[in-house]
Structure 1
């Protein structure tokens, strides 16, 4: 949630900038958001793998 607040604050601050700087920073903000991927906690939990799910011993018989 702190990351989302960070991005929201950055977007609000963009409104007070001149056009050239705002455009440049909007592009960078978009890149930063893309790098972070989804910041939805439910997406994270859905895609998270528990240690048992990550590692399966090749010697263990199931």
Structure 2
């Protein structure tokens, strides 16, 4: 595995967009990340020290 510095689209072949769907007030709160070709795994995680159980579980998978 290679860790690439930068945003979620720093990896070649990925694009992303976000929208405000009303979960949080006046913030983009839903993201879609798309790979141009089939891929096995890709992960983008919070840098917060406190992480919810699903985030920790996903980090272990990736």
TM-score normalised per structure 2: 0.24
More helix by share: 1
